[in-house]
Amino acid sequence: MSTVGGGDIIEASDNNDFETRVSALEAAGAGGLNTTSGGGTTTSASYVDVPSSSVTSITKVSSSTHLFVFLRATFYSTSTSTAALFGVGIGGTDYDMGYMFQDTAFLRLPVSGIRIISGIAAGAVTVQGRWKRPSGAGTLTMLTSDHINITAVEIP
């Protein structure tokens, strides 16, 4: 298993082990979502909500703690040389989570990332899945069979 830091992208070979650990955190009471996509597309260069009910929530106990956030999604691009950036929106601020540059059109790939986010106030916190196309000409696509996983955990 690789060691990763906040904002690092997790390699595909690490996803199974990491998801097992995230599932254990969710079972212990962390906010978590694992759902299929509602199906949809984007060509937006600015963040928009991913096409699903991709929202998870958590109640933060303290303003001095941080949120550990994990995101994993599958998607494809309709054209080569197209970049995708997935993130989460919290309280009106978007946080980059995982970047993927697609060299092959119509190849469904996973993208994932983790991030430790500071400065979130105590109380109810909503974490929304977001995505955008920062470069290229392809249409980013999530089918109804694609998945998105978002987990948020309060840490010291």
The more confident residue out of 139 and 146 is: 139
pLDDT at 74 over 70: yes
Q: 9 pLDDT band (50/70/90 cuts)?
A: very low
Which domains, ranges and CATH numbers included, belong to the chain?
A: 12-155 (2.60.120.760)
Q: What number of other Cβ atoms are within 10 A of residue 149's Cβ?
A: 23
Q: 92 pLDDT band (50/70/90 cuts)?
A: very high
Mind listing the pLDDT tens digit for each residue in 26-60? Answer: 554 456 666 666 789 999 999 999 987 677 888 88
CA distance 42 to 33: 21
Write down the pTM of the prediction.
Answer: 0.79
Determine the pLDDT at residue 39: 86
pLDDT above 90 covers what percent of the chain? 59
What count of Cα atoms within 13 Å lies in the side-chain half-sphere of residue 49? Answer: 14
Question: E-assigned strands of the chain?
Answer: 31-36, 40-42, 48-49, 55-60, 66-77, 82-90, 93-102, 109-117, 123-135, 140-142, 147-155
CA distance 92 to 140: 23
